Amino acid sequence: MSRRTRWNGAALAVVMGGALAAGCGAPGGDAPRPEATGASLAAAPTCGTAPVTLNAYIETGFPLPKELSTEFSKQHPNVKWNIREDQFAVITQNAPRVLADDPPDLMRLPQVSELVKNNLLKNLDGYAKAFGWDSWPASQLEQMRMAPGGKTRGEGSLYAMGLNFSMTGVFYNKKLADKIGMSSPPATLAELDDALAKAKSAGITPIAQFNGGATGGLAFPLQDLMAAYGPSGPINEWIYQKPGATIDTPSNLQATRHLEKWIKAGYFWKDVNAVDYATMMSRFIKGEGLFMFNGDWESGNLDKQMPGDVGFFLMPPAQQGGKQAAMSAPLTYGISSRAKNADCAAYFLNWVATDPKAREIGVQVGGSHPMGPADAPMPEVSEGTVTASTLAAGAKIAEDNGSMDFIANATGAIYAKSWTPQLQKLVAGQQTPEALLKSVQSDYTSQVKGS
């Protein structure tokens, strides 16, 4: 070997070695140290009078947070906003890294378990006490509470807040309902079945739903059927990862079989496995379906697009007069554990729930129920609108204590990797209800254990 080649080889080895050496030592461990508890505060914090710039990371496509921030700056001129927007899927994937590297003061969040475990979110107990959030109906905050270490949801310290809370049920096209002689919403599951059958024989697609891509929309009717057949408590325990919880129960099996019956009867579009959420909305608005299982975040939109032509009802119970339940979740926002203006962000969250103007924006722009004390004044909504009926439905759910989180929120991956492919297989006749629940449960067990 000549001297020159040896030299070259040595230089190359140094460069490569440097590149490889950079990868030594176990990865991770740069997460923030745990915060013992939410520090108790002497007085409720404010945004003060000095200029403040709040950094917010929000979901694109929803005008509510921006309208709220504009109104807030109007009332508090010293507060400016620096807002970054992304799609929900992007936010979900970015959440841990953004909270760790570039901490925003306020951030729209997916479910919080994994974030709490890595100490990325501020414990809001101190604020809850100072602002009196603790005296609000407990169910409003339950989904954002986590036991120490992020193990179980639904109990323990508060780690996030909602801008409002939304709820799902069944929208229906009033013109098509007239055609099949449906004058009032079905009161029982049997009446709903009856309406579905009548629509089918009248040549109307009974259910407008999406089930394509990585988000299986049949999870909406499935969870509603689960609530019709059984109590919502065990479903919530499963979503909250309570030890020993299972989704594979006899009543859930009945619900899944009922959904299969609907599929086999041809109540969904033939191409439902290729329909995404946006396509479902545009087809429903065009009148290509009688019912649609969806949430009140569309109320304002439907009031605008099909004024007077849309009704809303909660999923009817299996027995007449039975208790009703619905997927209901806060529009979750968290504060980074490293946020610069945490106090001002908390003050903003409290303002959203208590300021009359903010509550009005919450209902009219967001279409959903505002957070806050049970006796807080409700903004006026015009009679006969979908928004009015979804707000009324919210009161019924509160009365029946029937709010549930979404079965897709049990773990970070359960929606895209378990519910969606399984429901798509059910539509294609490649999966049985029994095996579907068993398969989701086994994925769940391994995901909970693995996380």
Partner 1 sequence: MPRKPVPRKQSPARAAGLRTPSWVGWLFVAPALGVYAVFVLRPIALTVQYSMYRWDGIGPSTWAGLGNYVRVFTDPDLFASILNAIKLIVFFSVIPVVLGLAIASTIRRIAASRLALVARTVLFLPQVIPLVAAGIAWSWLMSSTGLVNQLLAYVGLESVARAWLGDFSTALPAVGVIGAWVLLGLCTILLLSGLSKIDPALYEAARMDGAGPLREFVSITVPCLRQEIGVCVTVTVIAALASFDIVYVSTQGGPGNATMVPGLEIYYLAFSERQVGMASALAVVLMVLVILVALPIQWLTKDRSS
Q: Which stretch in 45-53, 131-139, 339-347, 419-427 sits in contact with partner 1 by CB under 8 A?
A: 419-427
Return the number of the residue (269 or 347) whose C-beta is nearest partner 1: 269
CB proximity list for 324: less than 8 A, separation 6 or greater: 227, 314, 315, 316, 317, 396, 397, 400, 402
Q: Provide the CB-side half-sphere exposure for 149 (13 A, CA).
A: 2
Q: Does 202 bind partner 1 (CB under 8 A)?
A: no
**Contact status, residue 292 vs residue 170, Cβ threshold 8 Å:** yes
Answer whether 311's CB lies under 8 Å from 386's CB.
yes
Of 34 and 377, the one with the shorter C-beta distance to partner 1 is: 34
Reference 312, options 165, 167, 169, 166; nearest CA is 169
Binding positions for partner 1, 24-53, rule CB under 8 A: 24, 26-31
Could you say which of 156, 213, 287, 322 contacts partner 1 (CB under 8 A)? 213
Q: Which DSSP symbol is given to 113?
A: H
Residue 404: helix, strand or coil by DSSP? strand
C-alpha span between 154 and 201 (Å, rounded): 44
Which of these, 134, 106, 140, lies nearest to 121 by C-alpha position?
Answer: 106
Applying CB under 8 A, the span of 141-149, 249-257, 339-347, 410-418 interacting with partner 1 comes to: 410-418
Residue 82 beta carbon to partner 1: minimum distance, rounded to whole angstroms: 24
Of 227 and 280, nearer to partner 1 (C-beta) is 280
In eight-state DSSP terms, residue 314 is P
Q: Contacting partner 1 (CB under 8 A), which of 33, 42, 250, 270?
A: 270
Q: How far apart are CA 67 and CA 63, in angstroms?
A: 6
Cβ 179 to partner 1 shortest distance, Å: 22
- Select the span of 96-104, 245-253, 326-334, 379-387 touching partner 1 (CB under 8 A): 96-104
97 part of the interface to partner 1, by CB under 8 A: yes
Distances in Å between the Cα of 29 and the Cα atoms of 100, 159, 400 are: 11, 21, 45
Report, in Å, the least distance between residue 92 CB and partner 1: 7
Site string for partner 1, 276-315 (x = CB under 8 A): ---x------------------------------------
Size of the site for partner 1 (CB under 8 A): 54
In eight-state DSSP terms, residue 102 is S
Q: Using CB under 8 A, list all residues that contact partner 1.
A: 3-4, 7-8, 11, 15-16, 18-20, 22-24, 26-31, 92-93, 96-97, 100, 114, 117-118, 120, 212-214, 269-275, 279, 412-413, 416-417, 420-422, 424-425, 427-428, 430, 447, 450-451
